[in-house]
Structure 1
Amino acid sequence: MSGIVELVYFATAVTFILGLKRMSHPTTARSGIHWAGVAMVVATVATFFHPEIDGRYILMLLAIAIGGGVAWMGGRKVEMTDMPQMIAIYNGMGGGAAAAIAAVELIRVANDPALAQGHGPMALWLGVLGALIGSVAFSGSVVAWAKLDGRMKKAMYFPNQQWINLAVIVLAVILGVVIATTTPSGVTLLLFFVLALAFGAMMALPIGGADMPVIISLFNAFTGLAVAMEGFVLDNAAMIIAGTVVGAAGTLLTQLMAKAMNRKISNVLFKQFGGSQGKEQTEIEGSMKGVDPSDAGIQMAYADRVIIVPGYGMAVAQAQHKIWEMVELLTERGTDVKFAIHPVAGRMPGHMNVLLAEAGVPYDMILDLEEINNDFDTTDVTLVIGANDVVNPVAKSDPDSPLYGMPVLNADQSKNVLVIKRGQGAGFSGVENHLFYLDHTRMVYGDGQKVVGEMIASIKTL
């Protein structure tokens, strides 16, 4: 029976990989999620027939009922604007689960040293490393969730923070070596996990809002690696393959996100975003000039080419459906409309793509930065709704700006720019946006959904 279970695990692992591959394209992403979900169900059912379960079916069913029930209710009730924090906390649960598995195995070895010979020295080392990484991913993701959910400040600092973090992780590593090479006491194990959890939390505390997508992706990679390592400890092929795939994908995504912000991962982790804010930055010339929604709608209606740049503000206002309604009206009038998506728009990778897909926007109208950035200079009107830092031109011109070097959308090169915004505040990074002060930019103040509704009404009168 064990051989059959392992064969099923291998088949489900392959299905995970195929599902992840299908998730890489919008037209197949939904089926890819279904494939991965079916594979998870099959792997879970197969586990009931594993010889080492030894009749613990009630505990397994209870765990599935509690975890599945909470996830089902949470998934159905969560708002689209809250998706980033839900992903952060669920990702943390994966790391926590891997750390819990490691804790159980390490406690068993501590109580019966003979078991260490059964696991083998390599498995023991991997178990300790998986425990460390999983604990860091868990506590770090909890802090990320708290920040995204508004329960904690975006960034928290204290004196000698990096040195204290270094001391904590060094102590955790030393205890890990002790655990892997000796018969550890309960106090040693407890202190090891406390330090690992503390490091994960302190690692995430100084991360500012602008860097949050990167750190979430990094913790996702950590979770995958922890699961893969615990898969070696349990000799579980499904966990090894699935964890490795998630870890590799998360690592690649982290690199891509950091590149999109022109930030080294080491700077994200160990340097405050905007550390150059104390420098004298380029003085802003001009002033913000407002325009009524009805006039903005008329300007859009008579444009031949329009680019719409969505951001997190659109998600907060739940304006994506109204935006698509307006786009349909413009398209009927012969206007060429495209959507420009920055890689770090929103609070998680692909956030804007999900919102637009929910509203029914066709995939071929949604273009990323590299595909559309050269089209702005031939665009009549660029409509920015809820986006800020990703269209700030100082990223291209001011070496003293914290955003300098970050690839941004060239909205400033359009003939006209309309910005839908609640107020005159700065972006998520705290950097003032020079785009709002340009002569050809007009600010349309108000709630995104309400403003777009008024623009739609004015277009319909033409």
Structure 2
Amino acid sequence: MTAAQPQVAQAVIGALSTTETFVQLLYLTASILFVLGLKDLGDAQTARRGVLLAEIGMVAAVAGTLLFGVDKGIIVRWEWIVVALLIGTGVGTAMGLWIPMTKMPERIALSHAFGGLAVALVGVVEYLNHGGPQMGTLHITATGLEVALGALTFTGSLMAFGKLQGFITGRPVTYPLQNLSNLAMIVGTLGLIGLLVYSPGASWAFYAVATLGVLLGVLLVLPIGGADMPVVICLLNSYAGLAASATGFALDNNVLIICGALDGFSGFLLGMMMSKAMNRSFSNVLFGAFGAAPEGKAVTEGAAPSGPAPNVGSVEEAAEVLRAARSVIVVPGYGMAVSQAQHAVRDLANVLAANGCDVRYAIHPVAGRMPGHMNVLLAEANVPYDHLFDLDVINDDFTATDVALVVGANDVVNPAARSNQSSPIYGMPILSADMAKTCVVLKRSLNAGFAGIENELFVRSNTMMVLGDAKKTLMQFTSALKE
């Protein structure tokens, strides 16, 4: 070892010993863990590890922020931080343990809402603390954007929650010149942020930005129908991420900039994928006023609401079809989530497999009420990951399949998307359940799906419908096959 080497080592140790350097190292570690976690979440086999990596990254980020606050003399009341930590932990734990999977979209919408509110409040406090005129161009621009996006995310997510929960009508709510007035408000918000750059002390403009953000969140989601909520959730996730990234610029916090950008762009890309899966453009989702939730009484017997009557079969008849099948593709949908039938699906699949039947699962990108909804439900029931197949991978196999078992799915198996050019879902990629030799459809009623249109599959000659609660019906199938 040369004489210079101990000096270099001491210099490195001395640099690392400073709080600021240690904080930056924590931020760097958190950012790397976020990137790795996001990568792992892209594959079902590594998703659990991805969540764990992201959790560790968040702990590192929070620790770094607390240390930074101590070093700069910002944090003076630790008891408030501890109280907030305990409340947040309690609420998060309760939500994780007791909210059923059928309500995951609503839970995510609420999480986005409060995340947006937190970002907006941080922006307001930042503006008040720095007095406006003392803020530089980048500082005031980032603060204005975070308040606008945070407020929009807050009210927009509450609107999405209301539509999903049924507090607000799932049908598009439109009025004359709606798109034009919304565009004018967006331009006005950006113009006010520009005014703040020119005159940071114009506090009225700052609060006008916050007010317009609140209004835009309501008015932008109001005309979007319930069937488009998966895309809206992705888009709101993108808004929340971009708001957090803007907060990072306002607070000069690198980890917020990085993780906010990751969140924002991943949400945007996921929304684009969801739009593609519905054969819709982003602009059509946002301004097309399509996706009405169906209304009206359930039809439990007899003919469909219009047209020819479906072939309604009994549990015993359907069980005999399954008993003779050598290959079955299960198509899960939101009805499976509502009846909590994922465990019953797994039990039936186990019995079929024991009888020598090949059982696989076909997953449509927009089945359910959020991206990955069906994957999570089936994973909860311990269905092997390698038995789940995306639409592009499995769709051609339906023609050689004995039975397509549709459990509560509707719009994602509607043949009108292929054959009826007048249908609003024409061109949407669907699972070809109608191409199987026999299609057994489990539904609670003959009502239309979330898109509000009737399903041609129900009246096909190779379709047998079994009406009733999916979980109860699947359990009856399993009992019959065991006998």
TM-score range normalised by the length of the shorter chain: over 0.9
The sequence identity of aligned pairs, in percent, is 42
Q: Distance in 2 between matches of 1:284 and 1:157?
A: 26
- SS of equivalent residue, structure 2 residue 389: strand
Q: Quick one: which amino acid aligns to residue 400 of structure 2?
A: T
What is the rounded CA distance, in whole Å, between the counterparts of 2:231 and 2:168 in structure 1? 18
Find 1:239's aligned residue among 253, 256, 261: 256
1:400 to 383, 397, 422: 422
Aligned residues: 450
Deviates more, 1:82-91 or 1:283-292: 283-292
322-331 vs 163-172, which moves further: 163-172
AA aligned opposite 2:146: G
Deviations 1:19-56, CA, capped at 9 Å, x for gaps: 11111111211121111112111221222221232423
The match for 1:205 among 211, 215, 222 is: 222
| Counterpart pick for 1:84 among 99, 105, 114 | 105
For the 8 Å contact 1:218–1:254, the answer to whether it is kept is: yes
Q: How do residues 352-371 of structure 1 correspond to structure 2 at under 5 angstroms?
A: 352-371=374-393
Q: What is the aligned counterpart of 2:65 among 44, 47, 50?
A: 47
What is the match of residue 298 of structure 2?
none
The aligned residue for residue 163 of structure 2 is 147
Asked if 1:101 is matched to 2:118, the reply is no
Deviates more, 1:240-249 or 1:45-54: 45-54
Considering only CA atoms, is the larger Rg found in Structure 1 or Structure 2? 2
1:68 to 79, 89, 98: 89
Gaps of 5+ in 2: 1-18, 295-304
Matched to 2:473, the amino acid is: V
3-state secondary structure, aligned to 1:16:
helix
Q: Do residues 113 (structure 1) and 109 (structure 2) align?
A: no
Label 1:274 to 1:231 Cα distance change in 2 as closer, same or farther (>3 A).
Answer: closer
**Unpaired stretches in structure 1, ≥5 consecutive residues:** 278-282
Post-superposition Cα deviations, 1:358-402, rounded to whole Å, max 9, x if no partner, equal 111111111010000000111111111100000000001111100
Q: Which amino acid aligns with 1:159?
A: Y
Matched-pair contact (CA < 8 Å) for 1:274–1:402: no
Aligned to 2:9: none
Instruction: Name the structure 2 match of 1:131.
Output: 147
Please, which moves more after superposition, 449-458 or 186-195? 186-195
Are the counterparts in 2 of residues 286 and 438 from structure 1 also a CA contact under 8 Å?
Answer: no
- Residue number in structure 2 paired with 1:21: 39
1:280 matched to which residue of 2?
none
- TM-score calculated relative to the size of structure 1: 0.94
Q: 1:330-409 alignment to 2 at 5 Å?
A: 330-409=352-431
Question: Counterpart in 2 of 1:460?
Answer: 482
Indicate conservation of the 8 Å contact 1:284/1:437, yes or no. Answer: no
Name the CA distance, whole Å, in 2 between partners of 1:55 and 1:229: 25
Checking the alignment, whether the CA contact within 8 Å between 1:284 and 1:434 is kept in structure 2 is: no
- State the shift of 1:156 in Å: 4.2
Counterpart residue number, 2:49: 31
What's the secondary structure of 2:464's corresponding residue? strand
The letter of the residue matching 1:410 is S
**Does the 8 A contact of 1:322 with 1:453 survive in 2?**
yes
Q: Please, which moves more after superposition, 238-247 or 41-50?
A: 41-50
Could you tell which deviates more after superposition, 149-158 or 429-438? 149-158
The 1-side partners of 2:202 and 2:354 are apart by: 73
1:439 to 461, 469, 478: 461
Query: How far apart, CA to CA, are the structure 2 residues paired with 1:249 and 1:445?
Result: 39
Q: Is the 8 A contact 1:307 1:376 kept in 2?
A: yes
Residue identity in the other structure for 1:39: G
Distance 1:328 1:48 in 2: 50
- Listed one character per residue, the Cα deviations across residues 190-241 of structure 1 (whole Å, up to 9, x for unaligned) are 2221111110111111111111000100110111111111101111111111
- TM-score, reference length from structure 2: 0.90
RMSD between aligned residues: 1.8
Q: What's the CA shift string for 1:225-277, capped at 9, x where partnerless?
A: 111111011111111111111112111111111000000000100111169x9
- Aligned residue number for residue 302 of structure 1: 324
Cα pair distance change 1:186/1:65, threshold 3 Å: farther
Structure 2 distance, partners of 1:252, 1:183, is: 34
Aligned partners of 1:150 and 1:34: how far apart in 2?
34
Query: Is residue 166 of structure 1 aligned with residue 183 of structure 2?
Result: yes
TM alignment of 1:4-19, pairs within 5 A: 4-19=22-37
Query: Deviating runs (4+, > 6 A) in structure 1?
Result: none
Write the distance in 1 (CA, Å) between the matches of 2:222 and 2:132.
38
Paired with 1:284 and 1:69, the residues of 2 have a C-alpha distance of 50
Distance 1:241 1:274, change over 3 A: closer
Deviation at 1:284, TM superposition (A): 7.1
Give the aligned residue type for 2:212.
Answer: L
Aligned ranges 1:156-305 → 2 under 5 Å: 156-160=172-176, 161-273=178-290, 286-305=308-327
